[in-house]
């Protein structure tokens, strides 16, 4: 029996996950068709880049998600940039059809498809796909997080869990295209003064959340502008793997904010001290 429009029940997450993973892979194939061509790059009103891949992936995902549950609005990046996104609701989808367009343009492979479901301000379901190679992260907070390492037929799903801090110290993830080294150093000195940083892990897009969930990094401080569709899917996966995403004041990062813009935030493994 179908759930009433607009209603969400936690047990829906595991039922929806395989469908969302398949939708992400279909969007990834559309993106890769463009990736292998001589595509053009245009600039949006905020001067961020957009390509045919962003537009094709969103044109596929939006109606697919609307058909999946008509009672849940779809807030997607490109529609929002045109002023066409619906208002946030108690339960709604947040979609970035191609997170990391700068990485796509640079052809470094570090771009993702992000699909998240938000309920009462919290991400309750997330899928993050790297179209190059096919690595996929997914999760339902309270139910579990998983990774499929690549798109090969024999690639097995494995559970994800954040790790304790390694004896040698933190592995800190940083944005490839939006890093602020001085701000990151100031944050680490103020909030984790006794914690040694053993390595920096540089990556584009929401891949950084996947690395935290997979125990390949321990902390990611984003001290710059992001939008909700950039973070919601990775946030859900990290929560499901036992991590957290909080504002600099220590409050959980929430969704459905006016303008869909995030404050600065810190994503971390569960074993790290708060603050």
Residues near 63 by Cβ (< 8 Å), separated by ≥ 6?
none
Cα distances (angstroms) measured from residue 248 to each of 12, 121, 190, 197, 206: 32, 18, 11, 19, 19
Please name which of 269, 266, 229, 235 lies closest in space to residue 251, comparing C-alpha atoms.
266
Q: Report the Cα 142 to chain-centroid distance in Å.
A: 18
Instruction: Give the best-scoring range by mean pLDDT among 49-53, 136-140, 197-201.
Output: 136-140
Confidence of residue 204 (pLDDT cuts 50, 70, 90): confident
CA torsion 218→196→189→99, rounded to 10°?
-30
Q: Which residue has the higher pLDDT, 49 or 86?
A: 86
Confidence of residue 3 (pLDDT cuts 50, 70, 90): very low
Residue 159: predicted pLDDT: 97
Q: What's the predicted TM-score (pTM) here?
A: 0.93
Q: Is the pLDDT of residue 133 over 90?
A: yes
Q: What is the pLDDT of residues 212-252, one digit of tens each?
A: 999 999 999 998 889 999 999 999 999 999 999 999 999 99
Average pLDDT over residues 135-161: 92
Q: Rounded to whole angstroms, how far apart are CA atoms 239 and 231?
A: 12
Partner residues linked to 201 by β-bridges = 173
Check if the beta carbon of residue 88 is closer than 8 Å to that of residue 75. yes
Q: Supply the DSSP string of the chain, one letter for each residue.
A: -PPPTT---TTHHHHHHHHHHHHHHHHHHHHHHHHTS---EEE-TTS-EEEHHHHHHHHHHHHHHHHH-TTS-EEEHHHHHTT-PPPP-SEEEEEEEEE-HHHHHHT-S--EEEEEEEETTEEEEEEEE-TTT--EEEEETTTEEEEE--SSTTPPPEE----PPPTT-EEEEEESSS--HHHHHHHHHHH-TT--EEEEEEE-TTHHHHHHHTTS-SEEEE-S-EEHHHHHHHHHHHHHTT-EEEETTSPBP-S--GGGEE--EEEE-TTSPP-
Q: What is the largest CA-CA distance in the chain?
A: 54
Residue 2: predicted pLDDT: 40
Q: What is the pLDDT of residues 79-90, one digit of tens each?
A: 999 999 999 999
Average pLDDT over residues 194-221: 91
12-159 to CATH, choices 3.30.540.10, 3.40.50.300, 3.40.640.10, 3.40.50.170: 3.30.540.10
Lowest mean pLDDT among 32-36, 75-79, 96-100, 174-178: 174-178
Lowest mean pLDDT among 148-157, 173-182, 225-234, 235-244: 173-182
Domain ranges of the chain: 12-159, 170-268
Average pLDDT over residues 32-37: 94
CATH architecture observed for domain 170-268? 3-Layer(aba) Sandwich (3.40)
Check if the beta carbon of residue 143 is closer than 8 Å to that of residue 14. yes
Q: Is the pLDDT of residue 155 over 90?
A: no
């Amino acid at each position: 029996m179908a759930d009433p429009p607009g209603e969400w029940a936690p047990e829906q997450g595991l039922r929806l996950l395989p469908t969302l993973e398949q939708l992400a892979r279909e969007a990834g194939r559309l993106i890769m068709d463009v990736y292998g061509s001589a595509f053009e790059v245009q600039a949006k009103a905020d001067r961020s880049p957009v390509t045919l891949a962003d537009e094709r992936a969103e044109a596929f995902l939006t109606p697919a998600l609307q058909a999946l549950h008509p009672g849940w609005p779809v807030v997607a990046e490109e529609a929002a940039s045109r002023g066409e996104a619906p208002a946030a609701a108690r339960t709604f989808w947040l979609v970035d059809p191609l997170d990391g367009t700068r990485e796509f343009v640079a052809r470094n492979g570090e771009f993702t498809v992000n699909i998240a479901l938000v309920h009462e301000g919290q991400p309750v379901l997330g899928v993050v796909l790297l179209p190059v190679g096919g690595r996929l992260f997914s999760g339902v907070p309270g139910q579990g997080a998983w990774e499929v390492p690549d798109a090969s037929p024999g690639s097995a799903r494995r559970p994800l869990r954040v790790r304790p801090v390694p004896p040698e110290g933190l592995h800190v993830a940083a944005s490839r295209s939006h890093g602020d080294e001085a701000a990151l150093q100031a944050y680490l000195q103020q909030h984790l003064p006794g914690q040694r940083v053993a390595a920096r892990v540089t990556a584009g897009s929401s891949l950084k959340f996947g690395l935290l969930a997979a125990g390949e990094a321990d902390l990611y401080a984003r001290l710059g502008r992001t939008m909700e569709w950039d973070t919601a899917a990775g946030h859900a996966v990290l929560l499901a793997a036992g991590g957290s995403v909080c504002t600099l004041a220590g409050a959980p990062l929430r969704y459905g904010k006016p303008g869909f813009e995030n404050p600065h935030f810190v994503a971390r493994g569960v074993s790290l001290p708060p603050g």
